[in-house]
Amino acid sequence: MKISIVAPFYNEAENIEAFFATLVPILEETGDGFEIVCVNDGSKDNTLNLLYSWGDRHPEVVVVNLARNFGKEIALTAGLDHSTGDVVIPIDSDLQDPPELIPEMIAKWREGYDVVYATRTLRDTDSWFKKWSAELYYRLFNLVTETKIPFNAGDYRLMDRKVVDSVGRMRERSRFMKGVFAWVGFKQTSVEFARPERFAGQESQSFRRLWRLAVDGIITFSTIPLRVWSYIGLVIASLSFIYGLVILTKTLFYGVETPGYASTMVVILFLGGVQLLSLGILGEYVGRIFEEVKRRPLYIVDNPPVATDKHHDT
Ligand code: UDP
Ligand code: MG
């Protein structure tokens, strides 16, 4: 049995030493074979050199160097594509996903579970805004999509080979890994942990990026935002019809009433706003359709460390 660890690295030079120092003893302890697939996601610091030097010294360390920064979701996909283990564990390289959980995950896998995801018991290290928005987002996501993602679970999880292969068959460009992992199904369970602070450095997932990811998640897993407009339109049309009747009767019985600037403006502005909003939502979908039909490779690997016939550019 072989364990594959998949870790994305973006400007993590300060964390590499500590990352391997914590992870490797835990993996050796398990007594199983292992590999650590390190994906360098276009880091601008010394990360790549450090990874290569670890790779030279340790045959278990596999370095996949992406040609530029593709973002965490794609980096993770690249790592999964290059993994060869019977179980695969994606993990953050900033030690926010404690490797100490790995033996517990493997134990659950041996009990017969195909996916063991790690849920955070407390989000003490996050700001109240992040906690509150995450909670709201999980609720919204589970409300509008058929795919149910577990509360407070990140990408840190153990997956059986068959799960990884199924995930690998989903080649969409706008990807929301939590949703993709949940979509494939299989027998799932969870283990709990308290998420520690980042070991060193700054979080690089900016608000803009998280926002895009959030929108991607909902839009790629639900068509409700697209379909809801026909109902909103129906309601507005019915209300307008009733109001039209009211105006007509009033005019017939009481004659023409000229003042009406305020009500006219309100209706025009409101409808204009509603139309722009629905156009915007349409645009979100059309834009993604455009991205998908171009069928560009998900990522480009620079200097693949090993010759591989895996589908890393399909
Ligand atoms: N990461 C990446 N590419 C990016 C941004 C982040 O591979 O463009 C990696 C980063 O090195 C880390 C993980 O994704 O291992 C999580 O990033 P971060 O700590 O910035 O975000 P968090 O999820 O902790 O808020
Ligand atoms: Mg982090």
Please name which ligand lies nearest the alpha carbon of 93.
1
Structure tokens at 81: 């594509």
How large a percentage of the chain has pLDDT more than 70? 94
* 158 shares a domain with 86: yes
C-alpha distances (whole Å) from 246 to each of 150, 232, 236, 252, 302 are 50, 21, 15, 10, 69
Using DSSP's 3-state secondary structure scheme, residue 114 falls into coil
Neighbours of 286 (CB within 10 A): 11
* 231 shares a domain with 217: no
Pairwise CA distance, residues 230 & 228, whole Å: 6
- Calculate mean pLDDT across residues 16-20: 90
pLDDT of residue 74: 92
pLDDT of residue 311: 44
Cα of 64 vs centre of ligand 2, distance in Å, is: 20
* 130 shares a domain with 16: yes
pLDDT(182) > 70 = yes
Candidate of 204, 206, 208, 209 to mutate for ligand 1, largest count of ligand atoms within 8 Å of Cβ: 204
pLDDT(165) > 80 = yes
pLDDT of residue 314: 43
What residue owns the CA closest to ligand 1's atom 19?
Answer: 203
Pairwise CA distance, residues 132 & 126, whole Å: 10
Total count of domains within the chain: 2
pLDDT of residue 205: 67
More confident residue, 218 or 159: 159
* 232 shares a domain with 92: no
Candidate of 5, 6, 10 to mutate for ligand 1, largest count of ligand atoms within 8 Å of Cβ: 10
Mean pLDDT of the chain: 84
Give the CA angle between residues 17, 190, 181 to the nearest 5°.
Answer: 80
Pairwise CA distance, residues 196 & 285, whole Å: 37
* 105 shares a domain with 42: yes
pLDDT of residue 122: 65
Nearest Cα residue to 76 out of 310, 293, 312, 234: 312
Ligand 1 pocket, residues with Cβ under 6 angstroms: 8-10, 12, 41, 69, 71-72, 75, 92-94, 96, 198, 203-205
pLDDT of residue 125: 66
* 150 shares a domain with 212: yes
pLDDT(307) > 50 = no
In tens, the pLDDT along 50-78 reads 898 888 888 889 999 999 999 888 999 99
Residue 4 binned pLDDT confidence (cut-offs 50, 70, 90): very high
* 185 shares a domain with 94: yes
What's the CATH number where 17 sits? 3.90.550.10
Candidate of 94, 177, 203 to mutate for ligand 1, largest count of ligand atoms within 8 Å of Cβ: 94
Pairwise CA distance, residues 133 & 261, whole Å: 40
* 283 shares a domain with 188: no
* 138 shares a domain with 7: yes
Q: What is the pTM of this model?
A: 0.74
* 178 shares a domain with 241: no
* 203 shares a domain with 89: yes
Closest ligand 1 atom, CA of 7?
Answer: 15
